[in-house]
Structure 1
Amino acid sequence: MTRSTSRSSSRTKPKPSACGLHVNIDDAETLLPQPVRGGLRRGLSARQVQMIAISGTIGTGLFLGTGKSLAQGGPASILICYAIYPVAGSFNAYATRFFSPSYGFALSWSYWFNEAVSVTSDLTAAQLVLQFWTPSYPWLVSLLFWVFLILLNSFHVKAYGEVEYWLSFLKVATVVIFIILGILVNVGVNQSHTYIGAHNWLIPGAPFIGGFGGFAKVFVTASFAYGGTESLGITAGETENPSKNMPKVVKSVFWRILIFYILSILLIGLNVPWDYPNLSNKTTTTSPFTIVFTLAGSTVAGSFMNTVILTSVLSAGNHALFAGTRVLYGLSVVSPTPHAPRIFSRTTRAGVPLYALLATSSISVLCLGSSSIGSGQLWGWLQNIVGVSTQIAWLSIGLASWRFRKAWIRQGRSLDEMKFRASWTWPWGPYFVIIAVTSLILIQGWSSIFPTFSPVDFVSLYIEIPIMVIMGLCWVLAKNTFIDSIPVPGNADHPNETTTLIPRNAGTQEAHSKWRSDIVDIQTVDLYSDEYADEPLDEVKDEPKGKRFSFFWRLYDMLA
């Protein structure tokens, strides 16, 4: 299959895919099923994407997961672990293109499952939050939230973006209020009118709880909490003018999340003792945010904070369902061989991949099992699964970044041609990510083995690894056993010609020679097909504010 060499030709105008990459229209329209009704829509503004990235992170991991982390590791452990972790990037399709198709296949399905389980985790977290008011019928709130999320994601992407923006704005405002309130509580503006200072770091057992095992446990919870930043790249396919908006969003989101998390974690460790009653157990988990608000005033303040946490749970679930749906859509439109059934590529007239949405949301029925297992226990297991999957995603970001930059340089392209690059982390950044994250994945399950072996915890912490290996091997076996049994279009000179490919196990010498390494050759990998070319419409959308109001818009962008 050949591609036109003219980058300016209308035939090779890039079309957005769900993972932030783009496929050529002439390739896609031939290879992809025609029931696709126009594909995804570019309906997300930079304002919305920025808030979506923040909302995907500031959620149940910060509001509830910190309670579990504090109880298991102590104030020092959570401060160190949460300070190590903030990263962001796009990875699924890039791992396939620049590292290994089999690895990318396994990674993409793993990440889809990660997002689907994240929705389940958020719906289970809603049950934990509800227990602040009543322990009755916890599954009912999960069911109502589940229906609401499906309906919301069934509309145009603009509706999702706008709802997510305001839910995220509420969360960000709450975190800011919490930081101010946490400082006041610590210096004595609390119900007992006593100065707390670093007292909770000095109580028996603190600042490190459970030794190295407790410290290692916090890493997976921190991964769960920071999970979401890496899905920022998934929104690129539905973002207006991504070449300008995405770099701006990436830069701002990193520092905002870092500041929010570190200050919040520090204040939680200072104000809440690690042995606070019902902070984290099999049946319930209490948010440290709610505890601090209660310490500041009354039960009413605690109820207010709990209400905000409930909306943040809804926002986090909304983000996870959106991201998971787009990942599954992206798997179904990979060319020339789709990685998922093509039915998931079908979209409504509004550009919503409805079948992918229903498949992703169906995993969430697991949350109804919490009534027999215990919401706290189930949520802990789901946290482990999602946290490890997030770490694998970050490892893949390092691999993809390393291979992409090597291919760019090896093929003689100037770094100035890149529309965005993080120059201060090169060349050590990718290597650090690969080594550090791999080490963490291997050692964080220490507490499930020592001092006593916990089979369920061990499986929840390590199940992703054998699944990734098995899926990758299945892809290699399938690709080396059979050539894709789909018609391949002819070249630009003979567009109507097709060639039906034959099984590789046909017994010919040529077939046996097809067995080869799955690692991508960076010398020949295509660096052009997914480049986004700015369109005149993008330029128009960049200028509506006018010079008179430019200062106020810059101030708004900075605050928002």
Structure 2
Amino acid sequence: MASIDPEKTAYDHGGSPASLDRTHHAHIIKEDRLRRSLSARQVQMIAIGGTIGTGLFLGTGKALATGGPASLLLCYAIVGGIVFVTMLSLGEMAAFVPVAGSFCTFAGRYVDPCLGFALTWNYWFNDAVSTAADLVALQLLVQYWTDDFPWYALGIIVWVLIVLANIINVKAYGELEYWLSLLKVVTIIIFIILSIAVNAGGNQGYGYIGGKFWTHGDAPFVSGIGGFASVFVTASFAYGGTESIAITAGETRDPARTLPRVVKNVFWRILLFYILSALMIGLNIPYDYPGLNTKSSRTSPFTIAFQMAGSKAAGSYVNAVVITSVVSAGNHALYAGTRLLYTLGVNEHAPKFFTKLTRYQVPWVAVVTTSVVSIVLFSLSFAGSGQLWTWLQNLVGVSNQLSWICIGIASLRFRAGLKAQGKEHLLPFRNWTYPWGPILCVSLNIFIVLVQGWSSFSPKFSSVDFVSYYLELPVFVLMIIVWKLIKRTKFVRASEMDLETDVYTKEDIEPEEKGWVSRVKRIGSWFCF
């Protein structure tokens, strides 16, 4: 292990000799911590890959069918704004304290340990469900070509692939995610350009489209307030994973510089991709297009747009790209879930064996456990893959919203602690929306969580939909209460917050890639500079 330069450590921490000793000791005793092997180019692309997935490629079709084009655009824009401010808050904390558990650790450290416990278990389950949802989505997408392909075969093959990518070493995960994400970014750019041409008349059988589908049938708002509210959970599912980029902080090279750059220079482009894609989908595809939202199948709006341009081959190409995006999203969800299960073990919120690492410092027990849970959930596809995907999507969407609420609360408490201890000047990155940004996000998310299940009550009560919208709320609250009673945890006072443990130092950073291979790979990074 590399030695620590006292002067550099003092500069990084801005602390006293006593705090230096404690920090030095913290690094010495954590020889089994995760390795910082993810480069800046990988983390930037992972930020895109963790967000662009089934929520955009398939979820937009469901949202259009249930809410109409106006609901699709407005809800995706509102949730995108919420997540943008949430990312600013999270980036501020993660750059200062880059730990594998990220916002789950922050909730316990800056608010109350019982909140950190409940949030970490909630988000781990979120990632396990997300992985299963992505495997289910593969079945839906393959139906574009044939209904005879065994529903379980492709899902199992992809499951094995992403488990291997996550268990070999973190560089294998990062490299796979990098190239898959690059392919998605290029495809979305092509889709937006093609959609403009399709709308202007470059299509078969529709002529000039303009905005006529916004007045088609019940559009622009389908199913009234219920349809509009239900799109929020779909949008939350779509944006879910953005916040999990901070989970890579524990394995990111130079996170104090990399994470702020990711937050500032990548997410706004993701927001641009989503809003532009949602706008073009609503303009070019009618909400009652066959196959957008049925219990047995889904058709990606991206595939439909390429079909409208008059090319069956192009439709097949896009469908294939959507499948790779599903693999990418599943890969990212499995990665995030395993790191959270590892964190649960480190914090003694789960059995200690979840912290066991391979010689490449990968938490292999956590990988195996999370992947097994996801494949078990995937096996429920016999109930109808389209319906199961909707239920899983609702569970993940609500879980994401609970996470964003907790991130906002943790951000407010984090700043209060810095102010009480006189350390605000040490922040390597500042959230310029503080304090109104986190307050607004917490308030809006609570409101959305409560109203988005409107469609489960009207026009008639649906018990299954109701459970998928609201099951996580009482479970989450119950976990907080039970852990607080068992461990007798206390609300963390600002003056007593731990603002030293895991604060970033520049030791053990693996060198950047050199040579022509590095230069070739950086070409891909130009898409996210």
Give the TM-score, by structure 1 length: 0.84
Correspondent of 1:196 among 168, 189, 209? 209
> In structure 2, the residue corresponding to 1:43 is in which secondary structure?
coil
Residue type matched to 2:409 in 1? L
The yes-or-no answer on 1:528 pairing with 2:482 is no
Q: Distance in 2 between matches of 1:50 and 1:315?
A: 14
Correspondent of 1:42 among 26, 36, 40? 36
The yes-or-no answer on 1:519 pairing with 2:491 is yes
Q: Is the 8 A contact 1:243 1:534 kept in 2?
A: no
The yes-or-no answer on 1:211 pairing with 2:215 is no
Query: Which position in structure 1 is the counterpart of 2:415?
Result: 405
Q: Distance in 2 between matches of 1:72 and 1:419?
A: 43
Correspondent of 1:430 among 438, 441, 451? 438
The yes-or-no answer on 1:349 pairing with 2:362 is no
Correspondent of 1:130 among 142, 145, 155? 142
Q: Cα 1:381–1:555, aligned 2, differ >3 Å: closer, same or farther?
A: closer
Query: Which position in structure 1 is the counterpart of 2:99?
Result: none
Shift of 1:371: 4.2
Q: Distance in 2 between matches of 1:380 and 1:364?
A: 16
Shift of 1:518: 2.6
Q: After superposing the two structures, state which structure 1 stretch, 316-325 or 524-533, moved more.
A: 524-533
> In structure 2, the residue corresponding to 1:403 is in which secondary structure?
helix
| Counterparts of residues 140-289 of structure 1 (less than 5 Å) | 140-192=153-205, 194-289=207-302
Q: Distance in 1 between matches of 2:29 and 2:380?
A: 46
Query: Which position in structure 2 is the counterpart of 1:70?
Result: 64
> In structure 2, the residue corresponding to 1:523 is in which secondary structure?
helix
Q: Distance in 1 between matches of 2:339 and 2:381?
A: 30
Structure 1 residues without counterparts, runs of 5 or longer: 15-23, 30-37, 481-516
Q: Is the 8 A contact 2:198 2:305 kept in 1?
A: yes
Q: Is the 8 A contact 1:123 1:367 kept in 2?
A: no
Query: Which position in structure 2 is the counterpart of 1:103?
Result: 115
Residue type matched to 1:353 in 2? P
Q: Is the 8 A contact 1:126 1:141 kept in 2?
A: yes
Q: Distance in 1 between matches of 2:449 and 2:512?
A: 43
Query: Which position in structure 1 is the counterpart of 2:454?
Result: 446
Give the TM-score, by structure 2 length: 0.89
Q: Cα 1:177–1:392, aligned 2, differ >3 Å: closer, same or farther?
A: same
Residue type matched to 1:168 in 2? S
Q: Is the 8 A contact 1:4 1:12 kept in 2?
A: no
Q: Cα 1:72–1:441, aligned 2, differ >3 Å: closer, same or farther?
A: same
Shift of 1:478: 1.4
Query: Which position in structure 2 is the counterpart of 1:420?
Result: 429
Q: Distance in 1 between matches of 2:512 and 2:153?
A: 44
| Counterparts of residues 103-122 of structure 1 (less than 5 Å) | 103-122=115-134
Structure 1 residues 115-158: Cα deviation after superposition (integer angstroms, max 9, x where no partner): 00000000000000011011121111111111111111111111
Q: Distance in 2 between matches of 1:296 and 1:237?
A: 45
Structure 1 residues 396-426: Cα deviation after superposition (integer angstroms, max 9, x where no partner): 110011110111112222x332001122x12
The yes-or-no answer on 1:462 pairing with 2:473 is no
> How many residues get paired?
493
> In structure 2, the residue corresponding to 1:421 is in which secondary structure?
coil
Q: Distance in 1 between matches of 2:509 and 2:231?
A: 47
Q: Cα 1:45–1:555, aligned 2, differ >3 Å: closer, same or farther?
A: closer
The yes-or-no answer on 1:307 pairing with 2:288 is no
Q: Distance in 2 between matches of 1:555 and 1:233?
A: 21
Q: Distance in 1 between matches of 2:508 and 2:342?
A: 28
Q: Distance in 1 between matches of 2:43 and 2:509?
A: 19
Q: Is the 8 A contact 1:188 1:195 kept in 2?
A: yes
> In structure 2, the residue corresponding to 1:349 is in which secondary structure?
coil
Q: Cα 1:558–1:175, aligned 2, differ >3 Å: closer, same or farther?
A: closer
Q: Distance in 2 between matches of 1:160 and 1:141?
A: 20
Q: Distance in 2 between matches of 1:308 and 1:78?
A: 23
Q: Is the 8 A contact 1:105 1:475 kept in 2?
A: yes
Q: Cα 1:28–1:4, aligned 2, differ >3 Å: closer, same or farther?
A: farther
Q: Is the 8 A contact 2:182 2:524 kept in 1?
A: no
Q: Is the 8 A contact 1:122 1:317 kept in 2?
A: yes
Query: Which position in structure 2 is the counterpart of 1:386?
Result: 396
Q: Is the 8 A contact 1:124 1:367 kept in 2?
A: no
Structure 1 residues 210-246: Cα deviation after superposition (integer angstroms, max 9, x where no partner): 0000001000000000001110110000000111111
Residue type matched to 2:182 in 1? F
Shift of 1:366: 3.6
Query: Which position in structure 2 is the counterpart of 1:84?
Result: 78
Structure 1 residues 417-441: Cα deviation after superposition (integer angstroms, max 9, x where no partner): 2001122x12201110110000100
Residue type matched to 1:419 in 2? P
Q: Distance in 2 between matches of 1:537 and 1:341?
A: 29
Residue type matched to 2:130 in 1? S
Identity of aligned residues (%): 54
The yes-or-no answer on 1:317 pairing with 2:330 is yes
Structure 1 residues 275-301: Cα deviation after superposition (integer angstroms, max 9, x where no partner): 001111111111000000100122111
Shift of 1:369: 3.7
The yes-or-no answer on 1:361 pairing with 2:371 is yes
> In structure 2, the residue corresponding to 1:283 is in which secondary structure?
coil
> In structure 2, the residue corresponding to 1:278 is in which secondary structure?
coil
Structure 1 residues 440-480: Cα deviation after superposition (integer angstroms, max 9, x where no partner): 00111111112211111000111111111111122112113
> In structure 2, the residue corresponding to 1:13 is in which secondary structure?
helix
Shift of 1:192: 2.4
Q: Distance in 2 between matches of 1:119 and 1:553?
A: 29
The structure that is helix-richer by fraction is: 2
Larger radius of gyration: 1
Q: Cα 1:124–1:528, aligned 2, differ >3 Å: closer, same or farther?
A: same
| C-alpha RMSD over aligned residues | 2.3
Correspondent of 1:93 among 105, 117, 135? 105
Query: Which position in structure 2 is the counterpart of 1:377?
Result: 387
Query: Which position in structure 2 is the counterpart of 1:328?
Result: 341
Q: Cα 1:370–1:191, aligned 2, differ >3 Å: closer, same or farther?
A: farther
